[in-house]
Chain A
């Protein structure tokens, strides 16, 4: 695992390749506040028809950190995630008010092409959904549609390494992605998401369909991914949020962002009684 991690780093960050392990360890320490905001919501309201799914949410999501969105079912956390890369555009009755800023640009501005946006913001879904294509073609798909055709094999290998899957599949790159186990499929989906080198990776309950062992591998991987990418993860599992995230946002019913702070703060000493009740399992 750690071996793979180092390899990824070396290959994808040419400038850092000579930096010693100590510096890498320092980079791994994400407790220091991030200097930049990757994604920001400004007075965001989202409606499905007459029903409000997100209620006046304003938050700054830091770059190269793991931000967890937690909350009970139907609290709008998945809606919020899909608002960031405009996946909700495909739902006819969905209406968005307010801004979502990505790199300082409101992604709901009329001149923004959702296709171009999604090429910068990768997504991993709840159920592993590899294409019924070979492992190689799965990872190369994003590269192919973006017209990237030099050194595809190298990029595929690098992405599979980045998703901690390469060692397991290096001899079967031409076999179907569906022949892998559930956990491997999910890591394949992560490799597919990182292959076009996005800036942000959205994850919608990526481990909820997996067994605990496979889930823990994904958790380790998320930790590694945060060195290069901004990770925003929706999870039902509070222990998971506590384990892997730097920042935690608690949504409660009605699409309200109740509290958003450093993960340690949320889980040890939340400001809001409702958050404490939710985290200690009194409801939800």
Chain B
């Protein structure tokens, strides 16, 4: 102890601490800025080349034309995104149809019902599922899922088809949904569950009426991630769905109401936006040509689709949010 009359030494020991602190802060900031700059740079490149593309092909034609034949090797070129959008939307919706419910229910099981033992085994296993390379999923779809579906449910199915690809993308994204949702549900304070049980709620009522609403924003972010992943998925689609940009046949129902038979889309091959980009990039491509620029227009379209979905799900999550 110092003498009580002596005031304690509160001065900075040396200037070094200050420099060190400043360096750390700077280092962290640089990392953050690199990420930000990369995103901005990507967006700028997309936008620049897309603008070049749209100066040759009108936006309206790009958005409404139903034929996609970029023909990088030469010949008649048509750049219509519609068949690609149909492919992407089909794959995304079907994959979401699988991944969101199964993933959410899995998360509820893991967070609310599973014993600690079961959870400690199941959760890492599920996360392994997320670590399998997508090309493996693609081959699995092509080699096992398609023949199995063909032999049982859909004999008319073609070798390359949207259904198998979507199923596999759905399965691939289940762990993404379940893992993030489970984290959100586990973070709900136990006092809320106790309150529910104290009122005579069953486990199911506590899970669905208290835990899920309280963790809805975490669940929604898992959905956003999974759906964005499905939109951007390329490898599974290339391998299992093929690469033919096609429009489904429009049939006529009673009174001449046009409709598209879902089987035409699901059981046949197709092409997504990502696959179209890969196909162009994989050819003998010369920079500055129209097909080259069309890649960036497609990239921009993909970006917009993802952005719109993110914003939409944010709005929806905000509406049902219950912050604790």
Give A residues with C-beta under 8 Å from B: 85, 87, 90, 115-120, 122-123, 125, 127, 129-133, 141-142, 144-146, 176, 178, 189, 192-193, 196
CA distance A119 to B197 in the complex (A): 9
B201 touches A132 (CB 8 A): no
Q: Which of A85, A87, A145 contacts B201 (CB 8 A)?
A: A145
Of the A-B pairs whose beta carbons lie under 8 Å apart in the complex, a sample of 7, sorted by A's number, is A87-B194, A87-B197, A115-B200, A118-B197, A125-B195, A132-B214, A192-B195
Which chain A residues lie closer than 8 Å to B200 at the CB level? 115-120, 142, 145-146, 196
B198–A131 CB distance below 8 A: no
| Minimum-distance CB pairs A-B, first 3 | A119-B200, A123-B198, A132-B322
B155 at the interface (CB under 8 A from A): no
B111 CB to nearest chain A CB (Å): 15
Contacts of A178 in B (CB 8 A): 323-324
Q: Are B202 and A125 in contact (CB under 8 A)?
A: no
Residues of A contacting B205 in the complex (Cβ-Cβ under 8 angstroms): 145
Task: Provide the bound-state CA to CA distance between A129 and B191, in Å.
Answer: 6
> Footprint of A on B, CB under 8 Å?
189, 191-192, 194-202, 205, 209-210, 213-214, 322-324
Min CB–CB distance A97 → chain B (angstroms) = 22
Cβ-defined contact, A115 with B198, below 8 A: no
Instruction: Contact check, B189 vs A133: say whether CB atoms are below 8 A apart.
Output: no
Taking a contact as CB atoms under 8 Å apart, the answer to whether A129 and B194 are in contact is: yes
Which residue of B is nearest A134, CB measured? B322
Chain B residues positioned under 8 Å from A132 (CB to CB): 192, 213-214, 322-324
Interface contact B323-A196, CB-CB below 8 Å: no
Question: Smallest distance from the beta carbon of B321 to chain A beta carbons, Å?
Answer: 9
**What residues of B have a CB within 8 angstroms of the CB of A87 in the complex?**
194, 197-198
Q: Which residue of A lies closest to B198 (CB)?
A: A123
Contact present for A85 and B202 (CB under 8 Å) = no
A125 in contact with B194 (CB, 8 Å): yes
B202 lies within 8 A of A115 (CB): yes
Contacts of B192 in A (CB 8 A): 129, 131-132
Asked if A189 contacts B199 (CB within 8 A), the reply is no
Distance of A146 Cα from B196 Cα, bound (Å): 12
Q: How far is the CB of B102 from chain A (nearest CB, A)?
A: 26
**A131 with B194: in contact, given A192-B199, A193-B199 (CB under 8 Å)?**
no
Cβ contacts under 8 Å, B214 to chain A: 131-132
A130 to B199, CA, bound (A): 12
Across-interface contacts of A192 in B (CB, < 8 A)? 195, 199
> Are the C-beta atoms of A125 and B199 separated by less than 8 Å?
no
On whether the beta carbons of B201 and A115 are closer than 8 Å, the reply is yes
Find out whether the CB atom of B198 lies under 8 angstroms from the CB atom of A125.
yes
The reply to whether A131 and B210 form a contact with Cβ atoms under 8 Å apart is: yes
CB-nearest residue of chain A to B115: A92
Interface contact B213-A133, CB-CB below 8 Å? yes
Complex Cα distance, B189 from A144, in Å, reads 22
Q: How far is the CB of A70 from chain B (nearest CB, A)?
A: 22
CA of A193 to CA of B189, assembled, Å: 19
Cβ contact within 8 Å between A129 and B199: no
Q: Cβ of B197 and Cβ of A131 under 8 Å apart?
A: no
Residue in chain A with minimal CB distance to B195:
A129
Task: Write the nearest CB–CB distance from B139 to chain A, whole angstroms.
Answer: 44
CB of A163, distance to nearest CB on chain B (Å): 14
A131→B322 contact, CB < 8 A: yes
Cα A178 to Cα B192 in complex, Å, equals 12
- CA–CA, A87 and B199, complex, Å: 11
Chain B residues, Cβ within 8 Å of A122: 198-199
Q: Are A90 and B197 in contact (CB under 8 A)?
A: yes
Q: Which residues of chain A are near B322, meaning CB under 8 Å?
A: 131-133, 176
A120 to B199, CA, bound (A): 9
Residues from chain B with a CB closer than 8 A to the CB of A145 are 199-202, 205, 209
Which residues of chain A are within 8 angstroms of B194 by Cβ–Cβ distance? 87, 125, 129
| A193 engages B324 (CB within 8 Å) | no
User: In whole angstroms, what is the CA distance A141 to B213 when docked?
Assistant: 13
- Give, as a whole number of angstroms, the nearest-CB distance from A37 to chain B: 22
Q: How far is the CB of A11 from chain B (nearest CB, A)?
A: 21
Q: Given A115-B202, A132-B214, A133-B213, A189 and B197 touching (CB < 8 A)? A: no
